């Protein structure tokens, strides 16, 4: 079974994925796959966004983010190049999978990987709680607010997810809720 976990930043996707990993599920982190893809296409990114995005032979994701974050056209260009490559890498991993896998990522639907999932769980929480969690992780408050504002569009994917889990309590409650969902679908952990 392929399980998709999605939702906005600070709502508990990674906490949930880590808990499922500890229980034996394989995890595909879309952020990590995305970072790998960025490194693989440095030349194309340099061509699109300029040499300033390369530092010490690596893509400086902070510089790239500054370029695309408030420029919808630049973001569209980046996504048009990166998303198909992320999708291909994940599909390659899925084709070789021998056990249940979790795909963890905010952009699960946007990349089109929800189509490969047997089950999609959208993890959500109140915005102020997400903000508090992001700040606790070391994200500057202004940046955290920008991230959450930029991710508001993700809520439209709640309807196309199989389950909505509200994570406004302790992580153990989130994990218990999801374990019950998985058990109902025959995944015993």
Start-to-end CA distance of the chain, whole Å, equals 13
Residue 39: predicted pLDDT:
96
> What local confidence, expressed as pLDDT, does residue 165 receive?
97
pLDDT of residue 99: 83
Give me the sign of the Cα torsion angle 113, 65, 13, 125.
Answer: negative
Q: Mind spelling out the 3-state secondary structure of 77-130?
A: HHHHHHHHHHHHHHHHHHHCCCCCEEEECCCHHHHCHHHHCCEEEEEECCHHHH
Contact status, residue 23 vs residue 182, Cβ threshold 8 Å: no
Domain covering 2-183 in this structure, CATH number: 3.40.50.300
What pLDDT score does 167 carry? 96
Is the model's pTM score more than 0.95? no
| Rounded Cα–Cα distance for residues 148 and 135 (Å) | 12
Partners of residue 2 on adjacent β-strands: 101
- What DSSP assignment string belongs to the chain? -EEEEEE-TTSSHHHHHHHHHHTT-EEEEHHHHHHHHHHHTHHHHHHHH-GGGEETTEE-HHHHHHHHHT-HHHHHHHHHHHHHHHHHHHHHHHHT--S-EEEE-TTHHHHTGGGG-SEEEEEE--HHHHHHHHHHTT--HHHHHHHHHHTGGGGGGSTTSSEEEE--S-HHHHHHHHHHHHHHTT---
Q: What are the Cα distances from residue 158, in Å, to 109, 110, 132? A: 10, 12, 22
Mean pLDDT by 10 residues, the chain (189 residues): 96 95 95 97 96 96 92 95 98 91 96 97 96 96 92 92 95 96 92
């Amino acid at each position: 079974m392929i399980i998709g976990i999605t939702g906005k930043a600070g709502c508990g996707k990674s906490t949930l994925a880590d808990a499922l990993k500890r229980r034996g599920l394989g995890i595909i982190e879309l952020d990590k796959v995305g970072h790998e893809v960025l490194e693989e296409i440095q030349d194309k990114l340099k061509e699109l966004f300029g040499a300033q995005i390369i530092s010490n032979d690596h893509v400086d994701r902070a510089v790239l983010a500054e370029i695309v974050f408030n420029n919808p056209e630049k973001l569209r260009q980046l996504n048009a190049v990166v998303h198909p490559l992320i999708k291909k890498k994940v599909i390659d991993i899925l084709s070789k999978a021998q056990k249940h896998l979790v795909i963890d990522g905010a952009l699960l639907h946007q990349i089109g990987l929800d189509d490969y999932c047997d089950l999609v769980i959208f993890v959500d929480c109140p915005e102020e709680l997400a903000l508090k969690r992001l700040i606790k992780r070391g994200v500057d408050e202004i940046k955290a607010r920008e991230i959450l504002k930029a991710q508001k569009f993700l809520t439209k994917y709640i309807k196309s997810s199989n389950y909505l889990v509200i994570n406004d309590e302790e992580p153990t409650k989130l994990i218990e809720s999801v374990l019950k969902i998985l058990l109902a679908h025959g995944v015993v952990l």
